[in-house]
Amino acid sequence: MTSHQPVVRVWRGVIRTQERDEYVEYVERTGMGEYRATPGNLDAWVLTRDLGDGTSEILTVSRWESMNAVREFAGVDVDRAVYYPEDDDYLVERDETVRHYIQES
């Protein structure tokens, strides 16, 4: 990945739909708050999608100036997902890794 193009970081998990609002609020306080407070973060979002079976998919999407900025948030292993203490109370499925994409335009 080149250092002069923004990097988009994407993580995915699944929660019980009945806890969606509560979990989104929790993610805003924890992960999104840390994303936005990290130098080099350009913006961040939480996206949800009802899967129709009592669960909802959660995506966190964040945009960064560079992979060095991502490292400031995630540490040396930038592909490892970052979790917080109460995530175990909500998540019924989770990706242990994240995906990074180059923003081309």
The pLDDT score that the predictor gives to residue 103 is 86
Residue 70's H or E segment, with its range, is: helix 67-74
Arithmetic mean of pLDDT, 48-52: 98
pLDDT in tens, 52-85: 999 999 999 999 999 999 999 999 999 999 999 9
pTM of this structure: 0.91
**Collapsing DSSP states into helix, strand and coil, what is residue 24?**
helix
Q: In degrees to the nearest 10, what's the CA dihedral of 64, 65, 70, 76? A: 160
Question: Which domains can be identified in the chain, with CATH numbers?
Answer: 7-102 (3.30.70.100)
